[in-house]
Every structure is written in C-alpha cells, then in structure tokens.
C-alpha cells in the first residue's frame, strides 16, 4: 500500500464521513441514511465500536496529512461459519488510484491471519462496474448473479454480482 495506512475511525473523522455521503455514488451504492452531521456521527459510532465482534472498520489515510482516502469494513463476521463480508468506498477526489483494491486486499490478508475466517464475500450491484473492478483487482472470484437481492440508495432492488476470496486463493498480482 506504499505510503498509505489503514487506521480505525475516530470521532474527529465526522466531517470526512459527512462529506463522503454527499457524493451521489456513495449515496446510491453504500446506502443513504446520512442526512445530517448527526447521522454521520451515528454511523461513525457504529464503525468505531468493534465490541460486538461481528465487524471491523478502517479508514485509509495519507499519513502525512492524515487525509482520508477510502473506507473499508469487514462485516457479518461469522466465527462459526468462518466467513465475513466486505464493503468499501473511496472519496470522490481519490478515485482511480487503486486505493479501494489495495485496502480490500490488506483487510482480507489481515482477516485470514487474525480471524477464524477463510472466506470473504463481496457483493455489488450489476450496474456498479467500478466496484466490479475492485473485486477483480483484490483477488476475488466471481461466483454468480443474485437476482433482485439488495435495495440500494435509490430504493430499488438491484441484481448483484457475488464474489468471494478464500484464504488459500492466490493473492492479487
Ligand atoms: C467503487 C470504488 C470504491 C472504486 O474505488 P477506487 O479506489 O477508485 O478503485 P480503483 O482506482 O481501482 O478504480 C476502480 C474503477 O473505477 C473506475 N474509475 C477510474 N477512475 C475513476 C474516477 N476518477 N472516478 C470514478 N471511477 C473511476 C474505473 O472503472 C476503475 O477500473 P479500472 O482500474 O479498470 O480503470 C469507488 O468508485 C467508489 O467509492 N464508488 C462509489 C461507492 C461504491 O460504489 N462503493 C462500493 C459499493 S459495492
């Protein structure tokens, strides 16, 4: 990941979260529900609290300026089944530089080493071709199309593509 670093979210990241959720693509593909700075703080509170053990979240930063570049969350961590799901977004100004695939890859490698998890699933709407590229570049394998499987920020249920990365899959190039 070069100069970049993943760190847990902090309360003073509220402006970052608020600004990110002004972006129409994040509103559409990462869900709405952040209509005010208070909502952003509530979301941040959930991201900061790992105590349930079923999720873990990070922000990718440029260390010199502590500038937030991208968000990555491991959620639905199921220790019995040994699996989890991953979600992400990149700040609009930071897109197209491979930050999301690098952050997703780093979190997968961490999870396979630190958690009793050997399968991580990634889903995105069929229309979200940028997210499809993240899956491909982060070493995930396409497993199928889920029909009308998730209601996104536009209130419409979209078909999704399901991808997974297993602990013993080859690491991305
Ligand atoms: C999907 C997303 C996370 C990709 O993050 P990223 O850090 O830009 O990832 P990459 O740099 O690897 O770019 C992935 C693709 O985005 C597209 N892209 C490139 N530059 C871009 C830009 N400036 N703006 C938007 N998309 C761009 C390209 O299709 C690229 O694929 P390529 O490598 O074949 O050119 C980011 O576009 C985003 O946050 N989108 C809105 C929210 C979202 O879709 N979240 C995921 C929900 S499943």
- Indicate if ligand 1 lies below 6 Å from the C-beta of 105: no
172, part of any domain: no
The pLDDT value given to residue 93: 96
For the CA of 95, the closest atom of ligand 1 is: 8
The pLDDT value given to residue 2: 57
Domain tally, the chain: 1
For residue 135, what are the domain limits? 5-166
Domain CATH for 104: 3.40.630.30
171, part of any domain: no
The confidence band for 67, taking pLDDT boundaries of 50, 70 and 90, is: confident
* pTM for this prediction: 0.97
CA angle 105, 170, 92 (to 5 degrees): 25
33, part of any domain: yes
29, part of any domain: yes
The confidence band for 96, taking pLDDT boundaries of 50, 70 and 90, is: very high
Ligand 1 midpoint to CA 86 (Å):
16
């Amino acid at each position: 990941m070069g100069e970049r670093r993943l760190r847990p979210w902090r309360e003073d990241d509220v402006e970052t979260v608020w600004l990110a959720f002004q972006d129409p693509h994040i509103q559409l593909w990462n869900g709405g529900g952040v209509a005010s700075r208070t909502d952003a703080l509530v979301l941040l509170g959930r991201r900061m609290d790992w105590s349930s053990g079923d999720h873990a979240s990070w922000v990718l930063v440029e260390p010199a300026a502590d500038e937030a570049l991208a968000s990555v969350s491991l959620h639905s961590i199921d220790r019995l089944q040994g699996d989890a799901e991953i979600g992400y977004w990149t700040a609009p100004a930071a897109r197209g530089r491979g930050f999301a695939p690098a952050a997703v890859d780093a979190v997968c490698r961490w999870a396979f080493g630190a958690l009793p998890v050997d399968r991580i699933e990634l889903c995105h709407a069929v229309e979200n071709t940028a997210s499809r590229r993240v899956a491909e570049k982060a070493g995930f394998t396409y497993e199928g199309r889920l029909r009308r499987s998730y209601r996104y920020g536009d209130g419409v249920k979209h078909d999704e593509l399901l991808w997974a990365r297993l602990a013993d899959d080859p690491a991305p190039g």
